[in-house]
Amino acid sequence: QVHLEQLGAGLLKPSETLSLTCAVSNASFSDHYWSWIRQPPGKGLEWIGEINHRRTTYYNPSLKSRVTISIDTSRSQFSLELNSVTAADTAVYYCAAGTIYFDLWGRGTLVIVSS
Amino acid sequence: DIQMTQSPSSLSASVGDRVIITCRASQSISAYLNWYQQKPGQAPKLLINAVSSLQSGVPSRFRGGGSVTDFTLTISNLQPEDFATYYCQQSYSFPRTFGQGTKVEIK
């Protein structure tokens, strides 16, 4: 069974860089697209972006200037970096498998941005 | 960006009721419409993809329908475990976008 385990820090100060990794087990990396999605507390879901095994990326234009999604196929991991964070970036960040639909999700990481 | 608008934002229903949640896209999205269920403290769970294709293990009381810009999620014979928030999501184009969610509460 495919499993997505999220790794990374959950407390940041404004202007710092958010860095999260999603470790994938029991899946072929080339069979999926890999996405990041976030959810501010008490609010809805926002798609951040995705990457495939060829390292082709698509980003949400609203975040594109600050986002980098990368992939390490040798370690079956993909990562999210979001720079210059503000309080508005406080959210639960999910990694997920898929592009047309998201059928596998990590458990989520609460990232709080506070001075 | 394609805007996804769900209605209602919340509803109260009783066990055994039938509820209908609607999702409207700001432009045609063909059949690229998915539905998710999210319970408090949990990640969303994919229920239906491509308008009406039920995921394995999802009870048949969940049904999706619609086309072009207007879509529905129908839950028949509402069960206690169905009280949750439901989101629609389009994958017709980038960026992928979600509806704002519909919270189904116990009456």
Is A94 touching B (CB cutoff 8 A)?
yes
- For residue A1 the two structure tokens come to 């069974």
Confidence tier at A9 by pLDDT (50, 70, 90)? confident
Sign of the dihedral defined by the CA atoms of residues B82, B8, B42, B55, in that order: positive
Instruction: Report, as an integer, the average pLDDT of B52-73.
Output: 97
Q: Which of B45, B46, B96 sits opposite A47 (nearest CB)?
A: B96
Amino acid at B47: L
Q: Has residue A31 got a pLDDT over 90?
A: no
Is A55 touching B (CB cutoff 8 A)?
no
Q: Rounded to whole angstroms, what are the CA distances from B87 to A40, A78, B35, B43?
A: 15, 25, 6, 12
Q: How far apart are CA B44 and CA B42, in angstroms?
A: 6
Output A74 or A14, whichever has higher pLDDT: A14
* Interface residues on B facing A, Cβ-Cβ cutoff 8 A: 1, 32, 34, 36, 43-46, 49-50, 55, 87, 89, 91, 94-101
Confidence tier at A44 by pLDDT (50, 70, 90)? very high
Tell me how close the Cα of B66 comes to any Cα of chain A, in angstroms.
17
Contacts of A1 in chain B (CB under 8 A): none
Is A78 touching B (CB cutoff 8 A)?
no
pLDDT at A1: 84
Is A42 touching B (CB cutoff 8 A)?
no
Q: Peptide bond before B8: cis, by omega within 30 degrees of 0?
A: yes
pLDDT at A12: 96
Confidence tier at A98 by pLDDT (50, 70, 90)? confident
- For residue B46 the two structure tokens come to 């994919």
Question: Are A100 and B32 a contacting pair at CB < 8 A?
Answer: yes
Q: How far apart are CA A52 and CA B74, in angstroms?
A: 33
pLDDT at A10: 85
pLDDT at B22: 98
pLDDT at A2: 86
